[in-house]
Amino acid sequence: MTTLKDVAKLACVDVSTVSRALNNSAYVHPDTKARIMAAVKELSYQPNVLAKGLREGKRNTIGVVVPHLHLTVFAEITQGIEEAATKAGYATLICNTNDDPSIEKECLNRLRNGFVDGIIIAGTGHNKKLLKDIQVSGIAITQIMRRQNSDISCVSVDYKKSAYEATQYFAKKGCHNIGLINGSMKIPPYQERYEGYKKAIKELGLTETLAESNGAVNTLEYGYHCTKELLNKNPNLDAIIAAVDAQGIGALRVLKEEAIAVPDSIKLISLTGQEIGSVLQTTMTAMEIPAVDIGRQAAMMTIEDIKSKDKHVVQKNLIFSSKLVERESS
């Protein structure tokens, strides 16, 4: 394996000069630096990032803890995190918890004891103390989508406004029986979506129709069973608000099985729109969120905290807005 000594020998300079040139840590004459870079290219030299990180007390790695990736907005958020992290010279380690607190705890402990400088997490809310302990130990933490710890930085969405606007949108379409497929009220986004829905329903003088099921909320199965429940609760249902796209896809399956026309008989919208909604057989109207941008911003905030020399990092909260994108389902 090529070493710094090999590069120095070929460029006819000291090892320390090569190190300064590659790290831009001190002035190196342009001609000398050009010889060094030519030697690096000729020898295909790759610096040992891990060794460098250990010498500097940095790992240049960020752990990402999410509940689910398949057919969820977290896949796009993770893409944004990786893009921003890679650009800044950081690697990423992805942990999938399936919203299981025990799996989340195990992931957090492994990351804390492993090679990470920071953690980005969409948490279950069951490991708040552990997160604070990790942060106090010097590891930067940023929450995404779910603000579980009020004193830890977070990048999220205005869920309340999104649900409120979606409900008002259906009312303007002439809908009077608007159902909501939601998740556990213990998880902030679902609680906030319900608050927005409830506010709009009250202002409109309508009646709430809610559905919640067992199992992972970010799945087609969850949306399928909740849609069945909504139809049983209210046979006059004329609109469905799904918290996430996967639930909306499950809802479309039920409506097709029941031969219920979309959007003529029942209209449908997702509150967490992503790319998949635009390629379905019946394309899905959505309150779309800038998921990739959310990931990029979370990564940049985390890296900023990692690099900060101030041990008392100022807690930051960034809230993105959703944008209504009308498609065939409404």
Q: For the chain, what is the domain count?
A: 3
62 and 150 co-located in one domain = yes
Does any domain span residue 29? yes
Does any domain span residue 326? no
Percent of the chain with pLDDT over 90: 66
11 three-state secondary structure: helix
Residues 6+ positions from 9 with CB-CB distance below 8 Å: none
Q: Summarize pLDDT for 222-273 with one digit per residue, the tens.
A: 999 999 999 999 999 999 999 999 999 999 999 999 999 999 999 999 999 8
Does any domain span residue 327? no
112, 177, 239, 265, 287 from 235: Cα distances, Å: 51, 9, 11, 11, 26
User: Residue 153 maps to which CATH number?
Assistant: 3.40.50.2300
Does any domain span residue 260? yes
Does any domain span residue 117? yes
Nearest C-alpha neighbor of 199 from the set 166, 223, 228: 166
Q: Which two tokens stand for residue 36?
A: 């060094």
Does any domain span residue 34? yes
Residues 6+ positions from 23 with CB-CB distance below 8 Å: none
204 and 272 co-located in one domain = yes
The pLDDT assigned to 95 comes to: 94
Q: Summarize pLDDT for 59-104 with one digit per residue, the tens.
A: 789 999 999 888 789 999 999 999 999 999 899 999 999 989 999 9
Judged by average pLDDT, the poorest of 142-156, 202-216, 301-315 is 301-315
223 and 317 co-located in one domain = no
Query: Mean pLDDT across the chain, nearest whole number?
Result: 90
114 and 256 co-located in one domain = no
Nearest C-alpha neighbor of 157 from the set 276, 317, 325, 327: 317
Q: Summarize pLDDT for 176-225 with one digit per residue, the tens.
A: 999 999 998 888 999 999 999 999 999 999 999 999 888 888 889 999 99
Radius of gyration of the chain (CA): 25
The pLDDT assigned to 283 comes to: 93
174 and 226 co-located in one domain = yes
The pLDDT assigned to 58 comes to: 64
175 and 260 co-located in one domain = yes
Q: Percent helix, strand and coil across the chain, each rounded to 5?
A: 45, 15, 35
Cβ distance 21 to 37 under 8 Å?
A: yes
Nearest C-alpha neighbor of 47 from the set 11, 19, 26: 19
Q: Which two tokens stand for residue 181?
A: 């497929």
149 and 295 co-located in one domain = yes
219 and 105 co-located in one domain = no
Quick check: 25 pLDDT over 70? no
Quick check: 52 pLDDT over 70? no
Does any domain span residue 328? no
Structural domain of residue 109, as residue ranges?
A: 55-157+291-321
269 and 301 co-located in one domain = no
Burial of 158 (0-12, 13-18, 19+ CB in 10 A): middle
128 and 173 co-located in one domain = no
Band the pLDDT of 310: cuts 50, 70, 90. low
Quick check: 55 pLDDT over 60? no
Does any domain span residue 329? no
189 and 116 co-located in one domain = no
Separation CA 71–CA 218 (nearest Å): 8
Nearest C-alpha neighbor of 125 from the set 196, 65, 213: 65
94 and 107 co-located in one domain = yes
